Structure 1
Amino acid sequence: MKVEKIRDLTLVSIDNQNKMVISCDSCGSIGLKSGDVFKVDPFYVGRFTARVALLEVLCSGANIVCITNAICNEMNPTGKQIIKGIKEELKLLDLDDVVLTGSTEENFITTSTGLGVTVIGIAKEDKIKVNNIDCSCILVSIGIPKVGNEIDLDNDIQIASYKTLDKLLNTQGILEIVPVGSKGIMYECEQLAINNGLNLQIYENSNIDLYKSAGPATVLVAAVKDNCLKDIKDIENLNVIGRLIKGEK
Structure 2
Amino acid sequence: MTTKAATANEGNDSLAHTAPRPSTPRRDFTLLPVSPENTLVIACDSCGGVGDKPEDLVPVSPEITGKFTCRVAAMEVMSTGAIPCLVIDTLAVEWEPTGRRIMAGIEAFLEEAGIPLVPLNGSTEENFPMKQTGMGITVIGQVPPQELRSGIAAPGQLLVAAGIPKVGKEIQHPVDPEILSIQDFITIRRHPGVADLIPVGSKGIQAEARLLAALNGLSLEWQADCPLPLAKTAGPATCAVAAMTPEALAALRETITTPLTVIAALT
TM-score normalised to structure 2 length: 0.87
Which of 132, 141, 150 is the matching residue for 1:130? 150
Which of 87, 90, 106 is the matching residue for 2:126? 106
Question: Is 2:225 the counterpart of 1:205?
Answer: yes
Deviations 1:62-92 (A, max 9, x none): 0110001000011011101110110110110
Q: Distance in 2 between matches of 1:91 and 1:191?
A: 31
Give yes or no for contact 1:171–1:231 (8 Å, CA) kept in 2: no
Aligned to 2:261: 239
Deviations 1:40-64 (A, max 9, x none): 2111110100011111011110011
Residue identity (%): 39
SS at match of 2:85: strand
Aligned to 2:43: 23
Higher strand share: 1
Which of 161, 166, 174 is the matching residue for 2:186? 166
Question: Is 2:88 the counterpart of 1:68?
Answer: yes
Q: Distance in 2 between matches of 1:241 and 1:224?
A: 12
Q: Distance in 2 between matches of 1:6 and 1:22?
A: 13
Q: Residue type of the partner of 1:106?
A: E
Aligned to 1:178: 198
Aligned to 2:107: 87
Q: Distance in 1 between matches of 2:176 and 2:250?
A: 25
Give the CA deviation at 1:166.
2.1
Give yes or no for contact 1:144–1:219 (8 Å, CA) kept in 2: yes
Give the CA deviation at 1:134.
4.0
Q: Residue type of the partner of 1:192?
A: L
Give the CA deviation at 1:94.
2.2
Aligned to 1:214: 234
Give yes or no for contact 2:200–2:238 (8 Å, CA) kept in 1: yes
Q: Distance in 1 between matches of 2:63 and 2:218?
A: 41
List gaps (5 residues or longer) in structure 2: 1-6, 9-21
TM-score normalised to structure 1 length: 0.93
